[in-house]
């Protein structure tokens, strides 16, 4: 299992596969401000929500006023600015990850923590969500636990990692 720590603080790391995915989408849309909603969809599908530093990255790339991006995000109910839970577990269920066992990972998470995608524990310590593709298909199955990408991970490994995270408070 390989772990890659991703920077959340200021700018998102350019090595983050999810940022590469968003960058590719922005280029595909030719940096058109009109493509903002589609780009935000790509970002939310990759992160499970819209982190502030990612919104800033998109704002800068499209040369838009931050107020326009923020008002778009808050206008549509399907966009979320907050992750669910103190710790977040984002399981990629895109084709490559699905073929390599993403469903087994989700099944094990449900068995161990009683959580289905979109749910959070009663104490708000853990939230589970799914992504359609986080742009790291060569590392399938991939799971992002907080800001760490867990590549080629087994169900047992990710459950152990979650337990370690939850235990440290």
Using CB under 6 A as the binding rule, whether residue 142 contacts ligand FES is answered as: yes
- Measured from each CB, the residue nearest to ligand FES is 94
Q: Are 53 and 8 in contact (CB under 8 A)?
A: yes
Contact region with ligand FES (CB under 6 A), list: 23-31, 62-70, 127-135, 159-167:
127-135
Contact region with ligand FES (CB under 6 A), list: 63-71, 81-89, 94-102, 160-168:
94-102
Tokens (6 digits) for 46: 């990759």
Using CB under 6 A as the binding rule, whether residue 137 contacts ligand FES is answered as: yes
Using CB under 6 A as the binding rule, whether residue 92 contacts ligand FES is answered as: yes
Contact region with ligand FES (CB under 6 A), list: 27-35, 37-45, 137-145, 159-167:
137-145
Give min distance, CB of 43 to ligand FES, in A: 15
Q: Are 25 and 38 in contact (CB under 8 A)?
A: yes
Give min distance, CB of 49 to ligand FES, in A: 17
What angle (nearest 5°) sits at the alpha carbon of residue 91, between those of residues 34 and 39? Answer: 5
Distance between CA atoms of residues 43 and 37, nearest Å? 10
Give min distance, CB of 98 to ligand FES, in A: 7
Three-class SS of residue 44?
A: helix
In degrees and rounded to multiples of 5, residue 88 shows phi and psi of -120, 135
CB count within 10 Å of CB 91 equals: 27
Give the binding site for ligand FES (CB under 6 A). 92, 94-97, 133-137, 140, 142
């Amino acid at each position: 299992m390989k772990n890659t720590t991703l920077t959340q603080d200021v700018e998102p790391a350019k090595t983050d596969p999810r940022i590469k995915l968003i960058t590719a989408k922005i280029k595909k849309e030719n940096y058109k401000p009109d493509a903002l909603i589609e780009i935000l969809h790509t970002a939310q599908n990759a992160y499970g929500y819209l982190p502030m530093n990612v919104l800033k990255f998109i704002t800068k790339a499209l040369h838009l006023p931050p107020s326009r991006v923020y008002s778009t995000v808050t206008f549509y109910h399907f966009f979320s600015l907050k992750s669910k839970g103190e710790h977040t577990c984002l399981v990629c269920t895109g084709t490559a990850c699905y073929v390599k066992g993403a469903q087994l990972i989700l099944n094990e998470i449900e068995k161990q923590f009683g959580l289905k995608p979109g749910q959070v524990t009663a104490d708000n310590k853990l939230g589970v969500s799914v992504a359609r593709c986080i742009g790291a298909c060569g590392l399938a199955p991939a799971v992002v636990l907080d800001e760490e990408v867990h590549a080629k991970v087994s169900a047992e490994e990710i459950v152990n990692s979650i337990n370690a995270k939850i235990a440290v408070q």
